[in-house]
Amino acid sequence: MAVNLFISAFTFGGGYIVVPMVRRFFVAKKQYFTEDDLLDMAAVAQSTPGAIAVNLSALAGYRAAGIAGALISCFAAVVPPLVILTFVSAFYKIFISNTIVAAVLKGMEAGVAALMVDIIADMCFAILKKRSLFLSAMIPLSFVANYVFGINVVFILLFCCILCMLRVFYNR
């Protein structure tokens, strides 16, 4: 529970920012599961309804300690943001005009960007490690589709999911 409280309290931005912290504590330090297990859990957490941070915490907690671990992890993932947002909203007028708070938030944006680059690099490395031309080609093609042609990410994800499902059915 303490680990998930720590992760939730210090991963402002949520989403994939949680993945490197979960890797650090659950994969590297505690070795409750492998790097591949974490990437699979991150994929499941992203595809299920709700916040990815809470979903991933629940999956990690379940993997580490069963149903009780999942419930405790969910609670631990929700409490810090709830407390922080309650505090910030109570003193919103003071925070919004404070230049130090604004500077801290700008610095946090840079930290979040660095963590996002880290998780994207790790995911690409995991895909390349599988040595599949099909999966490896999806990385640059998805980037080009979004960045060059401006195709919405939702359509790119749907297209990639359909291609992967067709590939699974074809291989069977």
What does the pLDDT average to over 115-128?
Answer: 83
pTM metric for this prediction: 0.60
What does the pLDDT average to over 28-45?
Answer: 87
The beta-carbon contacts of 40-48 under 8 Å, at least 24 apart in sequence, are 42/16
Cβ(77)–Cβ(20) below 8 Å: no
pLDDT tens digit sequence for 70-118: 999 989 988 888 888 888 888 888 877 888 888 887 888 888 788 788 8
